Amino acid sequence: IVKGRRDGSMRALPAAAAAGCAALLALSCSAQRRLVWIGWARRMLGAAEKSALRQLAARQRPARWFIGLHQRLTSEATNTVDSDPNAFTGATVYQAQHELALPYPPIHDDTEAIAGLLDLVDHRMVKAGDLVLNLGGGAFDGGPRWLEARVPGTKVLTADPFRRTEAHNLAVQEQVASAGGADVVISISVLNVIAEVANRVDHIALAHAALRPGGP
């Protein structure tokens, strides 16, 4: 606490300090500096988000996954694409050639089936021997079988409240629990088709809760 002299000369300090800060900000707020501050804020918010999700996941460890789940899917075609692991040659490429004025690059669809798992392999996010939980992974196993073949020793379990039976999901939950959690949890093209915000948060919390401590 700074106490001013009786002549009042210190009373102007708050205003002077505010003016000085404003001047410094005006001098330092170049586009580059603003991007630096935005990046810092994003990192802080990201860390806060992860912490909140971990706390939510710790509180929400249901005896049975998906129990009492009622939600409206915005797309009934979610995760309905199956692929033969032996015939897969790469993601579907859109706009490989076009006559647009700007040089837009080709678009590689990494949102369905095997194509949705490419980044896991390319970035080595799955290691040999890992247990992978494919949460909301649909009705087919082409993608999981491809991942298991590409990363030997990996086991992929799929749980889906709408595309798998209750008995199947319960068996998957028991396997994950007996292993002490999944090493990796993936959820591809799921959140974008869940209409209710609360259910999206619950889905993310379940993914965190199913992870082995330290899993990605």
Round to whole Å and give the CA distance between 14 and 18: 6
β-bridge pairing 93-94 and 107-108: antiparallel
Higher local confidence (pLDDT), 149 or 11: 149
Q: What is the pLDDT of residues 28-77, one digit of tens each?
A: 667 777 777 778 778 888 888 777 777 776 666 667 888 766 555 555 55
**Residue 36 Cα distances to 20, 30, 96, 194, angstroms:** 21, 10, 35, 34
**Beta bridge partner(s), residue 73:** 194
**Matching residue, tokens 């690059």:** 105
Share of the chain above pLDDT 90, in %: 24
Q: What is the pLDDT of residues 180-216, one digit of tens each?
A: 999 999 998 888 888 888 888 888 889 988 999 876 6
Where are the extended beta strands (E) located within the chain? Answer: 93-94, 107-108, 131-135, 155-159, 184-186
- Answer for the pair 167, 161: CB distance below 8 angstroms, yes or no: no
pLDDT of residue 22: 46
pLDDT of residue 149: 92
Least Cα distance to 140 among 100, 188, 95 occurs for: 188
Segment 68-92 shows an average pLDDT of: 56
Share of the chain above pLDDT 70, in %: 62
Round to whole Å and give the CA distance between 16 and 43: 32
Round to whole Å and give the CA distance between 48 and 53: 9
Round to whole Å and give the CA distance between 188 and 91: 14
